[in-house]
Structure 1
């Protein structure tokens, strides 16, 4: 999975000035210093703990993401971000397909809502790799034959499987990102444990790494309060 920060306007000071306007009025933006104080940390933790969420919305991060289409379907269930994806109607898609790595867990044990994934056998791992590659090659060959015959891209693409890669921009604020991370990462000690599909979790982990560097106080408060979005 590829996740890159394209641009951002996001820092802990964005949370602080937005929160302090409620008690100090105008000009709180100029109050933000370069070094965080204990008072700053306390305010951010208070906002997170008591779920005063709107101060965490006054920032923006835009990520470039490359991932299989089935991952994008899960992304877009989160209606808290802005998305723009490459179009199979307007450009010829590239023959890039996702095949699970050998360490990817393959076996589901239990039932929906109460299950876990465990490693597969060597035979299962080989089968997944072989069948995924074969289906991808066959599908892309059919796609190419239709294009060569003059069929429109928007029609030819219907034979392509969900493991073909796509790319998109995702623009999100910290509050929305925390909502996404609370559902798409599995971290010990969370108030509400989540069990995401591994492929979208890989994207979420990379987004969290970037966000942690941009807003370390907010990230620390998020973890300290059980990774619950305010």
Structure 2
């Protein structure tokens, strides 16, 4: 389970003691504060704190004293303009701090986004819980035959059972040896910072992750994409739901221009203009490589 009864009670207590404030408050974010949203089998994300809202983006863009403008439509239009023209600085005025519980191998992908502040649970000082990510059967897939980073067909039958048994037994065996090396039964034992090296990459860790909205959008654009690894994508998708409630205008513009939009090269634009003029353009006459042409066809739906 993602949360223990004690942790759930602590969150309930925090939510039951609201504090008055003069700072900008986003009702959508307030609804998510402290609440843990389950991800995978033992993981979660929860918003611990935030700064700013949609109006803070407009305020920074205009360098104004109060909120954005008196017209909500003007604020939304400005945010869409900023997103459309890649004016990123106003989005950096909003920040979010998340508490995330995730498998170590997902954390190692996540940490590649080096534009956040991170503080991770330390296995040098504390003993990790016996919690491992074990995929659901429909997430067990063979290696893709066309993509070195992707998955192929889902494993079925005896092969799926064999792999699941290996994952479970290896995880338990590694943790048993971890506890034996720590030796809390009177023996001298191994230091925690050394004993942890034997733990598998599917064990869960936790961290606090604080990031500004501009860099969060970059993270979500890559990790909430359909091509991202499923185990990190589900975390990104959970964060998307929180951000959509926190800054609805900014998230709407992000979803439209970044997630749902496409960037075309000069060659691709030239081909598109030629096609609109009635010319039958092929890969050979496009000036693009086969890979570029295949991606271009995917964008225009050819």
- Within 5 Å, give how 1:71-220 maps onto structure 2: 71-112=106-147, 116-148=151-183, 149=187, 150-187=189-226, 195-220=227-252
TM-score (norm 2): 0.67
- Separation of aligned partners in 1, 2:236 and 2:72: 29
Determine the structure 2 residue equivalent to 1:191.
none
- C-alpha change, 1:114 and 1:206, in structure 2 (3 Å) is closer
Per-residue CA deviation, residues 137-175 of structure 1 (Å, 9 max, x unaligned), is 110111111111421001111110000000000001110
- Separation of aligned partners in 2, 1:89 and 1:67: 18
CA contact (8 A) 2:221 2:258 kept: no
CA contact (8 A) 1:15 1:56 kept: yes
TM-score (norm 1): 0.87
Structure 1 vs Structure 2 CA RMSD: 1.8
- C-alpha change, 1:20 and 1:118, in structure 2 (3 Å) is farther
Q: 1:7 aligns with which of 49, 69, 84?
A: 49
- Separation of aligned partners in 2, 1:55 and 1:87: 34
Determine the structure 2 residue equivalent to 1:24.
none
| Runs of 4 or more consecutive aligned structure 1 residues displaced over 6 Å after TM superposition | none
Larger gyration radius, structure 1 or structure 2: 2
- C-alpha change, 1:114 and 1:155, in structure 2 (3 Å) is closer
Q: Which runs of 5+ in 2 are unaligned?
A: 1-42, 262-302
Equivalenced residue count is: 214
Structure 1 window deviating more from structure 2 (3-12 vs 163-172): it is 3-12
Q: Which runs of 5+ in 1 are unaligned?
A: 22-27, 188-194
How far does residue 113 in structure 1 lie from its aligned partner after superposition?
Answer: 6.3
- Separation of aligned partners in 2, 1:56 and 1:9: 11
- C-alpha change, 1:117 and 1:175, in structure 2 (3 Å) is farther
